[in-house]
Amino acid sequence: MCYNSSMKIKNVLKKGIFELNMCGIEDASWKIKLLMMHELNVSNEYLAIHGEDEMSQQVMEQFEKHQKELLKGKPVQYITNSQDFFGLNFYVDENVLIPQPDTEILVEETIAMAKEKGKKCKILDLCTGSGAIAVAIAKYTNAQLQASDISQKALEIAKKNALKQDVSISFVQSDMFEKIEGKFDLIVSNPPYIETEIIETLSDEVKNEPKIALDGGRDGLKFYRILAEETGKYLRQDGRLILEIGYQQKERVMQILEKAGFCEVYAKRDLGNHDRMVVGKWR
């Protein structure tokens, strides 16, 4: 991969897309355009209108450097430090999972429940990562939010995103419920749920995300068992536990919650028509 010292934007885009496609990189066109928008600090519309413009040598070198990282499987969001989620823009890097559109149904359900509870509603976001779930909920409700994660680096990013979106959230570093105090109306969590042995078979991009946020143990259900066993101590009467799940985990997670004493357990699908969320009401 080598670009000339002076090339038009449209030609650089075309060449970059071709090279990513040749290496089997998925969504090559989208990733190259995102990268170009980042390097030039412009919109997609700008690229369409200014395709004949020539790129400076400095920008060309930076673009080439980052394209090499894409070819090695680094997610484009970690290069641009940016990901859109629930209509908001979040800072992300290698210390947190990249928020995905599939998770938005979790936010929608929690917001609806929070509005039913009223402005005194207390919500805990366990395993917050980038803070995307907690920040989005705080942005669109009057609920009192607390968010926790075992990773201090993840919490620093979550705090940055809360500040970026101008929302108030209480953050605590905690291994699951270890340092959590008080009772909540809603506890929401997108815990690690990928089976340990499966992780090494995933795409290079996914394997570049933090393993601690992916690994759900031998059967992928380790953290659901902890949540089912411990959450009742931290939920008010009629409180609810709202969980993201893997698309093949619905029946097993529902059984885990019911066995632990949750009632009115139900599941919902995401926009891709995959089982993505399980909710249980504390007795």
- Per-residue pLDDT reduced to its tens digit, 123-174: 999 999 999 999 999 999 999 999 999 999 999 999 999 999 999 999 999 9
Residues 50-55 have a mean pLDDT of 94
Mean pLDDT value of segment 16-27: 95
Summarize pLDDT for 233-260 with one digit per residue, the tens: 999 999 999 999 998 999 999 999 999 9
Q: Which of 53, 16, 59 is nearest to 40 (CA)?
A: 59
Q: Rounded to the nearest 10 degrees, what angle do helices 152-164 and 132-140 cross at?
A: 30
pLDDT at 251: 97
Q: What are φ and ψ of residue 54, in 5° steps?
A: -95, 145
**Mean pLDDT score, 101-120:** 93
Residue 119 has pLDDT above 80, yes or no: no
Tell me the mean pLDDT in the region 15-40.
96
* Predicted local confidence at residue 250, as pLDDT: 97
Question: Residue 120 pLDDT more than 80?
Answer: yes
The DSSP code for 12 is: H
Confidence at residue 166, expressed as pLDDT on a 0 to 100 scale: 98
Please report, for residues 126, 173, 194, the alpha-carbon distance to residue 179 in angstroms, rounded to integers and kept in the order given.
11, 7, 25
Q: Is the pLDDT of residue 2 over 90?
A: no
- Average pLDDT on 2-21 reads 84
Whether the pLDDT of residue 37 is over 70: the answer is yes
Is 8 in a helix, a strand, or coil?
strand
- The pLDDT confidence band at residue 100, using thresholds 50, 70 and 90, is very high
The confidence score (pLDDT) of residue 1 equals 54
Output the pTM of the full model: 0.93
pLDDT class for 7, splitting at 50, 70, 90?
Answer: confident
